[in-house]
Structure 1
Amino acid sequence: MSDESASDVLARVRAAERRGDFLGAFDLARRGLETFPGDLKLGHRAVLALARSGATAGARAMLASLGATTDDELVALDARLWKDEALAATGELRAQLARDAAARYAALHARNGASYPAINAATLHLIAGDRVHATELAERALALTLAEKPTGDSLDAYWRAATAAEAALVLGRLEVAREHLVAARRANPDDHAALASTRKQLALVCAVRGCDPELIEALRPPAVAHFTGHMIGDRFAASSEPRIAAAIVAALVRHDVGYGFGSLASGADILFAEALLARDAELHVVLPFDAEQFARTSVALAGESWVTRFHACLARASSVTYGTLDASTDDTDALYAYGGQLAMGLALLRAGFLATHAVQIAVWDGKPARGVAGTGADIATWRRRKLVTDVIEIHDGSDLPFITSPPRVSPMHVKAILFGDIKGFSKLRERDVPKFVDYVLGACGRVLDECEVDIRNTWGDGLYLVLPTAGAAAHCASKLQAAIRSLDPAKIGPIGLRLAGHVGPVFDCFDPVIKQRSFFGSHVTRTARIEPVTPEGEVFVTEPFAAALALGDDNFACDYVGDVPAAKGFGNLRMCVLKQRGREA
């Protein structure tokens, strides 16, 4: 970044935003601010990226760090954060916060006379139940927008049309809104973040006005797909490639797919990847372990031409994520299963950011998976979430006996891991240690008795927990923080808890030292390195944890924190703060 200007960095940030990669946009903007401190445009994009990802608290803290300013864009961003807080609330609190946010937008409109703050104030008044002020401001915004002269900039044309459409919706003029929505979509073919932002807001207006939400479908960004399917072999003959390739192209067109997440094995995966790249969609590759070993185990058996195609797709992928870098174990089934779950979760996260459809497209013969991983396993996981799978049928192995065997007992399992540290322990007087054990650890123990915990361990002020799922870990972490917050500091002194969470494949072993079952592996170490950088009172989780939650539990949100350096030189990890929807975790 040292050779780049602030404008160059800003351009890369905007490119990431347009793709809906708000986490990447924030990281780029934050690193840009390290090189160009005080740059308000980079500061604005950093705050906006966090806000768009749903991390309202982090966005507010970032905005405060930029200092007091009268810059219109930052003032509007402050109002936007008030709006986000209003929309996250319910009942009378939502109405009150909506009125507060509307007042901020109205004050900005009074100062600069622009249509953008006027229409936001109008929509917020509508949400608050004040149709008089909503109508007045919507009429003003519509008039201002229609009077503005075109600048020749397509994004400017988009925002003018989107503002006019929103004003017409607030006023109940549905046909006028429809015309402007068509114009908005025509002006904006590729800024998917802008489409998502507008569509989310218009959905609120439709809900309040009782309009058919189909009206705003014109603004839906392209769909996000998780792709999966059989490798070249007994269930996918090489001779079937042309038919399956054509069916994949048709499926991507049918679902208007703009983003694809999946692996890169021979056969279906590579055909999906090539089709995505051919239609200028983003390819996000998720491999269970390093590329060379994956090519040997999942590509090379189909022939050298598939290896060449594998490397070509890998080189053009928008991102490559590895479940683990060390696959020296012979038991790779758990690693493949983890990679599939990670790809599905990341697809759901991106679809959520873009407010668009998530679909799974699978090349499948209808038979269950032969182990914990495979096409059948991916489909079963996706369908348990009650999500749509579009199956491209293949029956190349229909005349072969489907051999089922008892599942092999594996020492490796995908688990959720929590590490915790109780702040205040080191300042205790020696005589208070028994009281700490009884009062503080006792409170933690009672919480764990009510949670799904595979193993638990402690060493003074430390906690090490392994749980079956990310959802179980999230609920447990939330309850632990609540228990610690409820303690009376008069009895033991100020006490706080920091927790770190991760999901990954670990070895289930008998520990000969403590004579108990325990879990080991690099993913345990990774979690331990996150805990020291977690603020007191918070639960920091990794992106794989957030992806696992997206796949399995709607009760929690993961607000992005950033690309955070882990302890002891373990490298940077994308980190989120865990929040229970409706209240803090």
Structure 2
Amino acid sequence: MMETKDLEKLISLGHYAQARKRAEELLTKSDSLRAKQLYAFSLSKSGQPEAAREFLERVAKDHPDDPETNGILGGIYKELFRNQQNSAFAVLARDTYDRSFVRTKNFYTGINAATMSTLAGQSRRGKELAQEVLDLLKDPDQDFWEAVTRAEALLLLKERSKSEEAYRKARHLAGSDWGKINSVYNQLWLLKHYLPVPREALTAFSPPVVVSFVGHMIDHPDRVNPRFPANIEGQIKQAITSALNTVNARIGYCSLANGGDILFAEALEELGGEVNLFLPFSQSDFLAASVSFAGEQWTERFLRLVNKYPVTYLTEEPHAGHADLFGLQTSILFGLSHLRSLATHAEPYLISVMSERDQQRKSGGTRDTIGLWPNQQRHININPDVYVPIAAITEEPVSNTTQVNRTDRPVLYFVSFDLSADDPTGEAVLNHLTNASLPPAVTWRKGSEMVAGFRQLLGAMEFTTHILTSASPIHPAPRVTLHVGPFPLHRITGIDYYPLLEEGGAEEPIAVLEQLSDIHHFTPSGSVYASGAFGALLALDDVRYKLSFIDTLREVDKRPIRPIDVFSVSLLHISKLVNH
């Protein structure tokens, strides 16, 4: 039987979806109060705070004096207030924290009670609680959380200069722990909407800027006109470092081709930044296509970086001439940098190394993909032309060869959902697949689960909207899972479109479908979960979609899997889509 201590460990590591799933299993065998608390907490963090609220309110009625239950319930109310800006939740959070503090005299519930009282319009009660909290602190000069609590209490008491000094000390204690820094910054960002917050405090806890990078490789030996010759490597790296310092960027997303990519990763590393690496296909193929032709030293630098920093693969399948993998990878890099920036309430930057002289456009190349960046005002380009003498440029011969992009393994956008046989809306959902303006390239059904793969993101999201708006009120809201990746059409049929891929039709498991199934296993009813790759694409359209990080899946039913980031997706153009 799964013990509560195991659930606590999963939660401490941020594995909320896995904790929720296992807490559900534990509650079928145990009536433990602790299991109920952990289930509600993980459910809220899994993107369903309303469902967590309903569940834990019932528990709290049976345990009105339990401080842990009230502390978690107060946090759920606070999260709902943060998301919806509904003052009713601020009042509920205040009352819940206040009751808990009266019984426990715990400084954590106390400072939350004080803050929520202030936000709910009861500043006098907020000041009373803040003073009580200050008297409870034992070591605010050494303990980070006590230091932050002191700073916030002084802020509520309108002791501005003392609060500023306390925040400076807390920032020193935080060091480079971005989790702590983000937590304080988000709290200050909330507070500044209701009372004056010192600019110095916001500046001190402002997380570093997030940046994406794309850029040219070192010139191939066959290249006639120099664009990025090896002898300007040092100047380009210096320019990248200057750009990083100019925008205070310390969190970066990039691939790892020779030239610009590796120089960017090394420059960020030397500044003490966080390096996030991405490869579009198998490492061996990537080395051959994008690294080793420039010389052994680039291969060695590549291997050092991939052995030191986490690498995310779009797919571990071979390249095999599928150029669409490069474009998809760049879109994912851009989207993930945007998602990461949401915590800082600031826009990310793009740094690029791109020749303005060379106007050739290659599918998946720098000039082709740079247009995917959504905010050109936050784009810094380093032009290598300024380091290459014009005299070195000669007339480029016209090439008779054309690049071939294979289409037998296209990138598809997958939608997985449960289709109940007795749901009267089921037939309409299936008919939509046949009559849709953007029909799927492939569909696959296993029992009640249906998978549809589309050639365009728009087709997948139109179908997702259709599923959610067609759900029958008689049945539970559907669970929908989204993922993107290459799909080997050539392994299944000789034609591109066909109505149904029967189970067992492929020679071996298809990676993108296995990953989709793994995420679907953790998707709760009434939710839309997306893989990190799919979520990153949606993040570039924050007018239509809101995303919340849920978990990094590392195992399914005790079976280890390659880590998959999971996001909860809200479709902002539809109200009341799901039943919480």
TM-score (norm 2): 0.77
Paired with 2:35 and 2:110, the residues of 1 have a C-alpha distance of 25
* Structure 1 residues 416 and 137: alpha-carbon distance in aligned structure 2, compared to 1, 3 A threshold: same
**For residues 134 and 551 of structure 1, what CA distance do their matches in structure 2 show?**
39
Of residues 186, 210, 213 in structure 2, which corresponds to 1:224?
Answer: 210
Aligned match of 2:553: 563
Alpha-carbon distance, 1:302 to partner: 0.7
Contact map agreement 1:224 1:347 (CA 8 A) in 2: yes
Equivalent position of 1:394 in the other structure: 384
Residue 350 of structure 1 corresponds to 340
| Aligned match for 1:483, one of 445, 459, 470 | 470
**Alignment map for 1:323-334 (pairs within 5 Å):** 323-331=314-322, 333-334=323-324
Q: Secondary structure at the match of 1:118?
A: helix
In structure 2, what residue type is equivalent to 1:189? G
1:414 has 2:411 as partner: yes
Alignment partner of 2:361 out of 370, 395, 420: 370
For each residue in 1:483-514, what CA deviation from the matched residue of structure 2 results, as whole angstroms up to 9, or x when unmatched?
1234xx5xxxx576443321123467795579
Q: Secondary structure at the match of 2:217?
A: coil
Is 2:106 the partner of 1:120? no
2:493 aligned with 1:503: no
Shifted more, 104-113 versus 338-347: the winner is 338-347
In structure 2, relative to structure 1, the CA distance for the partners of 1:198 and 1:328 (3 Å cut) is closer
User: Of Structure 1 and Structure 2, which has the larger fraction of its residues in helix?
Assistant: 1
How many residue pairs get aligned? The number is 541
Q: What amino acid is aligned across from residue 541 of structure 2 in structure 1?
A: G
Q: Secondary structure at the match of 2:530?
A: strand
In 2, are the aligned partners of 1:337 and 1:373 still within 8 Å (CA)? Answer: yes
- Greater shift in the superposed pair: 289-298 or 371-380: 371-380
Contact 1:417–1:501 (8 Å) recurs in 2: yes
Deviation at 1:416, TM superposition (A): 1.5
**Pair 1:88 & 2:83 matched:** yes
Say if 1:201 and 1:409 are closer, same or farther in 2 by CA, change over 3 A: same
Instruction: Identify if the C-alpha distance between structure 1 residues 369 and 182 changes in structure 2 by more than 3 Å, giving closer, same or farther.
Output: farther
Provide the C-alpha distance between the structure 2 equivalents of 1:348 and 1:393, rounded to a whole number of angstroms.
24
1:458-473 matches, cutoff 5 A: 463-467=450-454, 469-470=456-457, 473=460
Rounded Cα–Cα distance in structure 2 between residues aligned with 1:52 and 1:126: 25
Aligned runs of 1:435-584 on 2, under 5 Å? 440-443=426-429, 445=431, 452-455=438-441, 457=443, 463-467=450-454, 469-470=456-457, 473-486=460-473, 489=474, 497-506=478-487, 511-512=493-494, 516=498, 522-524=511-513, 526-527=515-516, 530-531=519-520, 534-554=523-543, 555-560=545-550, 563=553, 571=561, 573-581=564-572, 583-584=576-577
For the residue of structure 2 that corresponds to 1:418, the secondary structure is: strand
Conservation of the 8 A alpha-carbon contact between 2:168 and 2:204: yes
Query: Which letter does structure 2 place at the counterpart of 1:83?
Result: K
Give 1:381's aligned residue: 372
Counterparts in 2 of 1:238 and 1:407: CA distance versus 1, 3 Å? closer
Preserved contact between residue 110 and residue 133 of structure 2 (Cα < 8 Å): no
Return closer, same or farther for 1:443/1:506 CA change in 2, 3 Å cut-off.
closer
Question: In structure 2, the residue corresponding to 1:390 is in which secondary structure?
Answer: strand
Match of 2:180 in 1: 194
Structure 1 SS opposite 2:303: helix
Partner amino acid, structure 1, of 2:98: A
Classify 1:184/1:152 alpha carbon distance in 2 versus 1 (closer, same or farther; 3 Å): closer
| Residue among 301, 305, 318 paired with 1:313 | 305
2:264 to 257, 269, 272: 272
Contact 2:212 2:333 in 1 (8 A): yes
Structure 2 spans left out of the alignment, 5+ residues: 220-225
Q: CA offset at residue 556 of structure 1? A: 3.1
Deviates more, 1:193-202 or 1:143-152: 143-152
Which segments of 5 or more consecutive residues in structure 1 lack a partner in the other structure?
Answer: 1-5, 17-21, 429-435
Is the contact between residue 286 and residue 319 of structure 2 (CA under 8 Å) also seen in structure 1?
no
CA distance in 1, matches of 2:22, 2:299: 36
Say whether residues 1:76 and 2:68 are aligned partners: no
State the identity %: 23
> Offset at 1:298?
0.9
TM-superposed CA distance for 1:387, in Å, is 6.7
CA distance in 2, matches of 1:77, 1:441: 42
TM-score (norm 1): 0.76
Aligned match for 1:185, one of 139, 163, 171: 171
Question: Measured at CA, do residues 65 and 391 of structure 1 come closer, stay the same or move farther in structure 2, by a change above 3 Å?
Answer: farther
Shift of residue 219 of structure 1? Answer: 0.9
- Following superposition, the deviation at residue 280 of structure 1 comes to 2.8
Give the residue type in structure 1 aligned to 2:209: A
Name the SS of the counterpart of 2:315 in structure 1.
coil
- The correspondence for 1:148, drawn from 109, 115, 137, is 137
